[in-house]
């Protein structure tokens, strides 16, 4: 805190003092938010809401087709998109800036703090200095309309929902195989160099997601060879859950094979 130590000297400007105070305030806010999230407890009414709602949670490795599948499901009015809240700024995807209320509900740090204190989240997490969470209000809207709440969420978030209710349906979407996944991912990039650089970074994330999903018994694994067929299968699971249990064993084997292929590629790149 060199600037604070030299407040009485002529070595610093008013702007530097202001910047230092802003930094201290920001760090205090971040520490407070992290504390609130770490100690957050879902209110009993929200847990009851989850238990009595139809909720579909989509997970999968990046590029497996979660977004496309979800968009197709949402053409059916029985489904309602659950838009998460976040304190991060909107990003640009494929030349399009994310929209508030569509991609995320973008909120200020102060608003996130208020929602945490009022216990307005179903679940919330603190990731790289940013808050992500699902509000109670989002689930309530779907439940009041008799709709199925659907959102894509990470493995840890799904685990939180499963603690609240076993009735929550969790689906893990897989590409048919490693090469198809790699080709789909490459289509997102304008240059091979950019793709290779980003793809290598995605491999550890894919390994972690697959390992965590395979460790638990509650995921329905679905091979996404065609998003329309994938959406159809998911819709059947939501209405005839039991009939698809036998298929999960076969697809879990495919998921394990994909995990092994991703690990092999990752190790090759580390040499």
Tell me the pLDDT tens digit for each residue of 189-246: 888 888 888 888 899 999 999 999 999 999 999 999 999 999 999 999 998 755 555 5
Summarised one tens digit per residue, pLDDT across range 136-150 is: 999 999 999 999 999
Summarised one tens digit per residue, pLDDT across range 62-112 is: 889 998 999 999 999 999 999 999 999 998 876 789 999 999 999 999 999
- Tell me the CA distances in angstroms from 132 to 184, 186, 213, 223, 260, one per residue in order: 27, 28, 20, 28, 31
Residue 17, pLDDT score: 76
Calculate what percentage of the chain has a pLDDT beyond 70: 93
pLDDT band at 187 (very low <50, low <70, confident <90, very high): confident
Instruction: Tell me what the mean pLDDT of segment 114-135 comes to.
Output: 92
Residue 192, pLDDT score: 85
Residue 234, pLDDT score: 94
The yes-or-no verdict on residue 1 having pLDDT over 70 is: no
In this structure, the chain runs to a length of 271
Check residues 264 and 247 and name the one with the higher pLDDT. 264
Check residues 31 and 24 and name the one with the higher pLDDT. 31
151: buried, middle or exposed (CB in 10 Å: 19+, 13-18, 0-12)? buried
Check residues 12 and 105 and name the one with the higher pLDDT. 105
Check residues 28 and 246 and name the one with the higher pLDDT. 28
Phi, psi of 210 (to 5 degrees): -65, -45
- Indicate the DSSP class of residue 52: T
Residue 10, classed as helix, strand or coil, is coil
Tokens describing residue 53: 């709602």
Residue 71, pLDDT score: 93
The yes-or-no verdict on residue 4 having pLDDT over 60 is: no
The yes-or-no verdict on residue 254 having pLDDT over 80 is: yes
The yes-or-no verdict on residue 8 having pLDDT over 60 is: no
């Amino acid at each position: 805190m060199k600037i604070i130590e030299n407040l009485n000297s002529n070595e610093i400007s008013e702007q530097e003092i202001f910047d230092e105070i802003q930094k201290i305030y920001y760090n205090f806010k971040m520490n407070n938010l992290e504390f609130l999230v770490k100690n957050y407890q879902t209110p009993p009414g929200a847990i009851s809401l989850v238990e009595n709602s139809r909720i579909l949670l989509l997970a999968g490795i990046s590029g497996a087709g979660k977004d496309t599948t979800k968009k197709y499901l949402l053409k059916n009015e029985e489904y309602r998109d659950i838009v998460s809240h976040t304190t991060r700024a909107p990003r640009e995807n494929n030349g399009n800036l994310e929209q508030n209320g569509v991609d995320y509900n973008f909120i200020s740090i102060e608003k996130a703090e208020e929602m945490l204190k009022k216990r307005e989240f179903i679940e919330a997490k603190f990731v790289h200095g940013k808050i992500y969470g699902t509000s109670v209000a989002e689930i309530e809207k779907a439940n009041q309309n008799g709709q199925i709440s659907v959102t894509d969420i990470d493995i840890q978030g799904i685990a939180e929902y499963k603690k609240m209710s076993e009735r929550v349906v969790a689906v893990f979407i897989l590409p048919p195989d490693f090469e198809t996944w790699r080709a789909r991912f490459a289509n997102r990039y304008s240059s091979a160099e950019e793709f290779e650089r980003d793809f290598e970074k995605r491999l550890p994330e894919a390994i972690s997601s697959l390992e965590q999903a395979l460790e638990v018994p509650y995921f329905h694994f679905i091979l996404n060879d065609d998003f329309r067929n994938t959406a159809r299968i998911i819709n059947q699971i939501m209405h005839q859950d039991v009939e698809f249990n036998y298929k999960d064993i076969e697809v879990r084997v495919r998921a394990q094979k994909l995990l092994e292929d991703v690990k092999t590629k990752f190790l090759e790149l580390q040499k």
